Amino acid sequence: MSAQSIDFGKDSPLRKLQIAEMAISNLYVDTVDEKKLVEDGIRGMIEKLDPHSAYTTAAETKEMNEPLQGSFEGIGVQFNIVQDTLLVIQPVVNGPSEKVGIIAGDRIVSVNDTAIAGVKMSKELIMKKLRGPKGSKVKLGIVRRGIPGILKFVVTRDKIPVKTIDAAYIIRPMTGYIRIGSFGVTTYEEFMEAVKSLQKQGMKDLILDLEENGGGYLVSAVQIANEFLRRNDLIVYTKGRSTQQQEYRAQGDGKLLDGKVIVLINEFTASAAEIVTGAIQDQDRGIVVGRRSFGKGLVQRPIDFSDGSMIRLTIAHYYTPSGRCIQKPYKKGQQLDYAMDIEHRFEHGELYSADSIHFADSLKYQTLREHRTVYGGGGIMPDYFVPLDTTLYTHFFRELAARSIVINANLKYVDNNRRQLKSKYPTFGDFMARYEIPESFVKDIINEAAKQKIKPRDDKELNATLPQLKLQLKALVARDLWDMSEYFQIINESNPIVMKAVKLMVSQ
């Protein structure tokens, strides 16, 4: 939109808005923050539009973009807070903290001589203290098990890579598994590294897990879809009122043109993840397993302001190759109802039975090669529906997790036993084959729960809880000794969607 096309005539809406702002700033009875007044006005306008258009301040914009941009600047540690103390889970390999000698299990008790141990601080506030511009220095006070006193380290902050691939491993002979957590700047590069590694290990077929993947960069999604599709296959197209239709097509030079593909989705799979899923399904390159995806198919264009703030304005819709609009229905300005959509799916039984989902004939589409029926109306419907398993986690288990009893007990256990565990199980293979959760570990959790007045209803519920609790604990211990990939190697064996895909891979 050019400056010449903006109407500032005396009867124009823009002139009216300008006069209102000037009147409030200059004449209102009390002092007003003019910057905030304008920001509130922008937010007010945006709120009357679709659910995904948004205004963010400079700080909010920076925080929002960091996970997608592939890096942030800080000291390079994974940490958690246990009893008001920051516990280092793992330093980032070759990161600034590891380079000065900080190790897993260290407790950071002070930052620049300011105590943070024993002080109630949110994780977000502590992150702000630890992050800072590349090249800046931060002085940390560290307490290390077996070493008296407080150790002092000076860490030079640096760029810290953000991983978007959660896990990559051979799940069954000749079948690889890759889980993508989000689509960021580095996702394609990470994905191809994972593919190369798995193919060296004998991968012929692939399970691509996009459960809980909330999306991200369109370019990354298109790059990954390209790896599966033949030359000139349509991946996705966009269309809007003021924007011309734009098509994204495969180049035909992918590394995954052969072999079986199964994509996993659930109700939290959204945006860029739905683009990949829709392309593979519509082009009959693979099948989709799970539950209907979220249904976020609105294209946002960033409009940057000089102060670092930004408007993300919806300008078009995403469409799958068969012509399905990914976006689920919404009413302008009714963000609360839109936000409650997943809750409505629970109430209507959609997450438990595919039969509860009803589609009009007008929402039926055909895949492009095999002419299978697929459905529009918002989100991607899987080819094989897997209901939400309400028996997997008992009420008692959910209470333990909600109160952070499981995660805190795990952090203490690993902190106390890290050296012995690493010595006894030098490789993850050893750990998988031989490690069992000690009964004393489980008893500590049950006793802590009882102190917080959380108890199983009866022995039947307790016995139903124990197998999943032990599996979760084993996965968490593996995560803290190795990484997220090892966590998923364990936890996936109880994931009904993953297990359905494994069975289908054998039977196809």
For 363-390, what is the HEC assignment?
A: HEEECCCCCCEEECCCCCCCCEECCCCC
Q: Tokens 């609790």 — which residue?
A: 469
pLDDT for res 65:
73
Mean pLDDT of 445-462: 94
Nearest to 395 by CA among 449, 325, 431: 449
Residues 119, 84: Cα–Cα separation, whole Å: 6
Q: Tokens 């943070």 — which residue?
A: 116
Mean pLDDT of 332-343: 79
Better-predicted residue by pLDDT, 7 or 81: 81
Residues forming the active site: 271, 282, 296
pLDDT at 123 over 80: no
- With contact defined as beta carbons under 8 Å apart, do 302 and 214 qualify? no
For 178-247, what is the HEC assignment?
A: EEECCECCCHHHHHHHHHHHHHHCCCCEEEEECCCCCCECHHHHHHHHHCCCCCCCEEEEEECCCCCCEE
For the segment(s) 165-385, the CATH number from 3.30.70.20, 3.40.50.2000, 3.90.226.10, 3.90.105.10 is 3.90.226.10
pLDDT for res 362:
66
Mean pLDDT of 454-463: 94
CATH superfamily entry for domain 71-161:
PDZ domain (2.30.42.10)
Mean pLDDT of 329-346: 80
pTM of the model: 0.84
Residues 345, 148: Cα–Cα separation, whole Å: 55
pLDDT at 331 over 70: yes
Span 415-444, pLDDT tens digits: 889 999 999 999 999 999 999 999 999 999
3-class SS of residue 415: helix
Q: Tell me what the pLDDT averaged over the chain comes to.
A: 89
pLDDT for res 275:
97
Residues 228, 57: Cα–Cα separation, whole Å: 38
Span 204-244, pLDDT tens digits: 999 999 999 999 889 999 999 999 999 999 999 999 988 88
pLDDT at 175 over 90: yes
Span 138-164, pLDDT tens digits: 999 998 877 888 989 999 999 887 789
Local confidence band at 115 (pLDDT 50, 70, 90 cut-offs): confident
Better-predicted residue by pLDDT, 10 or 245: 245
Domain locations in the chain?
3-53, 71-161, 165-385, 395-500
pLDDT at 4 over 50: no
Tokens standing for residue 443: 């008893």
DSSP string of 283-304, one letter each residue = TTSSEEEES------EEEEEEE
pLDDT at 343 over 50: yes
3-class SS of residue 310: strand
Mean pLDDT of 133-140: 91
pLDDT for res 1:
43
Q: Which helix (H) or strand (E) holds 110?
A: strand 107-111
Mean pLDDT of 54-61: 87
Task: Return the percentage of the chain with pLDDT > 90, whole number.
Answer: 56
Residues 305, 299: Cα–Cα separation, whole Å: 19
CB within 8 Å of 453: residues ≥ 6 apart? none
pLDDT for res 444:
94
Nearest to 480 by CA among 412, 423, 424, 404: 412
3-class SS of residue 263: strand
Task: Return the percentage of the chain with pLDDT > 70, whole number.
Answer: 94
pLDDT for res 2:
42
pLDDT for res 369:
96
The b-or-e profile of 127-160 (16+ CB within 10 A means b, else e) is eebbbeeeeeebebbbbbeeeeeeeebebebbeb
Q: Which of 74-78, 85-89, 321-325 has the lowest mean pLDDT?
A: 85-89
pLDDT at 68 over 80: no
pLDDT at 7 over 60: no
Local confidence band at 70 (pLDDT 50, 70, 90 cut-offs): low
Q: Which of 191-205, 246-260, 358-372 has the lowest mean pLDDT?
A: 358-372
Q: How many CA atoms lie within 13 A of 494 on its CB side?
A: 16
Q: Which of 8-12, 17-21, 124-128, 299-303 has the lowest mean pLDDT?
A: 8-12
pLDDT at 325 over 50: yes
pLDDT at 177 over 90: yes
